[in-house]
């Protein structure tokens, strides 16, 4: 496990960018943390590192946004509105847990109780107050 401390929203994006630079096809990033802890900011940096243009927003209402313009295709999922693995399966989102030639980032990953993705990197966000965040993560591709 690695531990990072972010002291600002911009720093959280930069940390996401570091992960994005090292990203490789087939990886699922499972993000957990309360509302407002920086998950979507981290994804913005990650997408920027992949060369994905435009603004990255949370797919809370659409459940998934797909981006194909970067170095790797990116699927960004948000499971906040889904309460069970059955609802996730019913929405057809389980296919994104085997991203093939791309990567998937899943916000609210703790709501998935199905089989574990083969190449999973978990990233946990905790607010330390103000803009400061504690970010605990699996060591990517160790």
pLDDT grade for 83, boundaries at 50, 70 and 90? confident
High-pLDDT (> 70) share of the chain, %: 97
Element (H, E) at 9: helix 9-22
- Measured distance CA(59)–CA(10) in Å, rounded: 20
User: Rounded to the nearest 10 degrees, what angle do helices 9-22 and 39-49 cross at?
Assistant: 50
Q: Is residue 124 part of a domain?
A: yes
Task: Measure Cα distances from 75 to 11, 26, 52, 129 in Å.
Answer: 23, 11, 12, 30
Rounded-to-integer distance, Cα 99 and Cα 73, Å: 9
Number of domains comprising the chain: 1
Q: Which residue has the higher pLDDT, 105 or 53?
A: 105
CATH number of the domain encompassing residue 131: 3.40.50.300
113: in domain: yes
When pLDDT is averaged across residues 123-141 and rounded to a whole number, the result is 89
Band (pLDDT 50/70/90 cuts) for residue 77 is very high
- In this predicted structure, the answer to whether residue 133 has a pLDDT above a threshold of 90 is yes
- State which residues form the domain around 57: 2-137
Secondary structure element (H or E) that encloses residue 140, with its range: none
In a domain, 142, yes or no: no
Average pLDDT in the chain: 91
């Amino acid at each position: 496990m690695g531990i990072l401390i972010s002291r600002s929203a911009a720093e959280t994006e930069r940390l996401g960018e570091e992960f994005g630079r090292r990203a490789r096809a087939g990886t699922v990033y499972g993000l957990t943390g309360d509302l407002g802890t920086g998950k979507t900011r981290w994804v913005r940096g990650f997408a920027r590192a992949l060369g994905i243009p435009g603004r990255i927003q949370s797919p809370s209402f659409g459940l998934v946004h797909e981006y194909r313009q970067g170095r790797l295709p990116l699927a960004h999922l948000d499971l906040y509105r889904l309460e069970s693995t059955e609802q996730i399966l019913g929405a057809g989102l389980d296919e994104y847990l085997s991203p093939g030639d791309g990567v998937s980032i899943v916000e609210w990953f703790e709501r998935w109780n199905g089989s574990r993705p083969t190449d999973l990197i978990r990233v946990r966000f905790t607010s330390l107050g103000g803009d400061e965040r504690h970010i605990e993560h699996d060591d990517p591709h160790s």
